[in-house]
Amino acid sequence: MRPGFILSGILVVVLYLAGQYMSWQEQKYDYVYNYMYEYTSPKLRALLACGHDALLADLALIRGIQFYGMNYPLFDKHPVQYEQFVSLGNTMEQLDPRHTEGYKFWGFALTSAKRGKVDSYRFLMRGAENQTATDEYFHAILPTVWKLAKEAGYVAHYELHSETPEWGCKAYRLALRSEDCPEFINRLVYFACKEIEPDPMPHLMELAHQAVSVKNPALRALNIEHIRRIVAEQHKAYWDGAQAYYREINGATPTRLSELMTVPILKEAAFRYREMSRKWFPGGTATRLFPNLMNVNLQPEEPPEIVEAVEPQQPIDPFGGKYVILPIKDYKNDQLVTEHRLMGTGVVETEREALLDTVRGDLEAYKKDHNGQCPPDAAAFTADRGIEPPKADSLGYEVVYDATACEFRFPPISEDNPPTTTPYGRTLEQMKEMEFKEKNTY
């Protein structure tokens, strides 16, 4: 036994033990796959796949497609064929629990059997839930999750005719959790959940938010239309209440709208509407959803705040008006505000403020130390505080020290004193070109 041999032996044993130990720990406790595909028990087929389960899931899908093509007319006549088809789907699910296309296919194919519609819904929902399994661990849901959930919602609505209203509602709610979920699901949710959650208010808020924040004018119009539809529904509920009361007291249906426009009837209708909305909330509080509907003749209690319109001040364009002004969204006092700024100055103003902020405190400190006297020049300030004042902003204007006002400042931006750097903004032509590219990319 030579020392080299023993040393290398010890080295590889240590390496081996370290590697094994770490991998045991990974697989036992922390490893991601354990959670991603959490099997309640080891499933034989997935086990025998030897790590190639994704491919076998694909082959199961291809087999399923062929099987469906040959056997779908028999699904209702021969239960065995149907059972086989479902079993094949389960195999696919066990092999790859996140096979989006597979779930979609089985979800579609199972509905061609009479008894397969419930199965189809359950299968799709299982798929969607399997795909959200990463949620806790990665804080991200598979972007394709909405596809399966949406399909499940369709099945619940069109194939099962909303027999169980909770199903469709649950499916669309699940779809909405996915980041890539298209916007129209938002509107579907309202219809699917109307029966179990009649309160339109949260939904109206959601739609209003969408209408405000969406860029696409067509989508915005859609959202506003939808809001109108929901509001009209509520109007109808209100007038239905008025009609019912009219019938109760007069024993006949009203023939004209003016017949309903009496104070007692409207009051009763408002009361009925409030009573109806009382059941929406657990506390039994009635909503004041449409105050102007219910109190038609009432004056507003407080006069509205009247603000004189001021023409917005445009920032100076140092580049000679060639560059467009861009709308910029910003949070001010926790509210989203859209401001129009020229990229060349608007951003630079903010940047200048930030730059000058860094030395303001030190200037104060200097004054305190020197009995309220300002530093005679920038060099004296630097020598005393050990801090260099900012040199220049990103447009290239250099900072100037004003000893009388006791502050650093940047020279004003104007067309007479144009910046030395290239502009931030874009010309109109550039903008158009960019938008054209964006449209063609997606």
Partner 1 sequence: MIEIIAIGLNTFREAIRNRVLYLILLFAVLLIGSSLFLSTLALDAGLRVIKNLGLTSINVFGLLVAMFIGVNLIPQEVESKTIYTIISQGVRRWQFVLGKFLGLVLTVYANMLLMAVLLLIILFSIMGGFAHPIMTLSDATFFWIPAAIFMQLFEMLIIVSVAILFSSFSTPILSAVMTLMVYVIGNMTNDFWDYIRLESEKHGNTIFTGFLTFIWYLCPHLDLLNLKKLAVHFELLPLDQTAFPFAVAMFHGFSYSAIVLFIACLAFSKRDF
Judged by the rule CB under 8 A, the positions of this chain that interact with partner 1 are: 8-9, 12-13, 15-16, 18-20, 22-24, 26-28, 30-34, 39, 41-43, 46-47, 50-55, 58, 61-62, 65-66, 96, 98-99, 101-102, 104-105, 134, 137-138, 140, 142-143, 441
Cβ distance to partner 1 smaller for residue 45 or 220: 45
**Nearest-approach distance from CB 191 to partner 1, in angstroms:** 28
**Nearest-approach distance from CB 150 to partner 1, in angstroms:** 15
The owner of tokens 């006949």 is 252
Cβ distance to partner 1 smaller for residue 62 or 307: 62
**Helix then strand then coil, % of the chain, to nearest 5:** 60, 5, 35
Cβ distance to partner 1 smaller for residue 134 or 295: 134
Helix 100-110 / helix 79-95 crossing angle, nearest 10 deg: 170
Cβ distance to partner 1 smaller for residue 19 or 202: 19
The owner of tokens 């027999």 is 163
Cβ distance to partner 1 smaller for residue 34 or 162: 34
Nearest to 340 by CA among 364, 309, 317, 363: 317
- The 8-class DSSP code of residue 30 comes to I
Which secondary structure element, helix H or strand E, spans residue 19, and what is its range? helix 3-25
**Nearest-approach distance from CB 75 to partner 1, in angstroms:** 19
Q: Are 395 and 426 in contact (CB under 8 A)?
A: no
List the structure tokens of 218.
């067509």
Helix, coil or strand: residue 398: strand
**Nearest-approach distance from CB 314 to partner 1, in angstroms:** 34
Spell out the residues 6+ positions from residue 427 whose beta carbon is closer than 8 angstroms to its own. Answer: 322, 323, 324
Dist. CA 149–CA 145, nearest whole Å: 6
Cβ distance to partner 1 smaller for residue 140 or 244: 140
**Nearest-approach distance from CB 442 to partner 1, in angstroms:** 10
Cβ distance to partner 1 smaller for residue 49 or 276: 49
Cβ atoms within 10 Å, residue 123? 26
Cβ atoms within 10 Å, residue 234? 19
**Nearest-approach distance from CB 53 to partner 1, in angstroms:** 7
- What does DSSP say about strands 335-342 and 400-402: parallel, antiparallel, or unpaired? unpaired
**Nearest-approach distance from CB 315 to partner 1, in angstroms:** 31
**Nearest-approach distance from CB 84 to partner 1, in angstroms:** 19
Instruction: Find the angle CA(164)-CA(286)-CA(199) to the nearest 5 degrees.
Output: 30
Which secondary structure element, helix H or strand E, spans residue 407, and what is its range? strand 407-409
Which secondary structure element, helix H or strand E, spans residue 48, and what is its range? helix 44-48
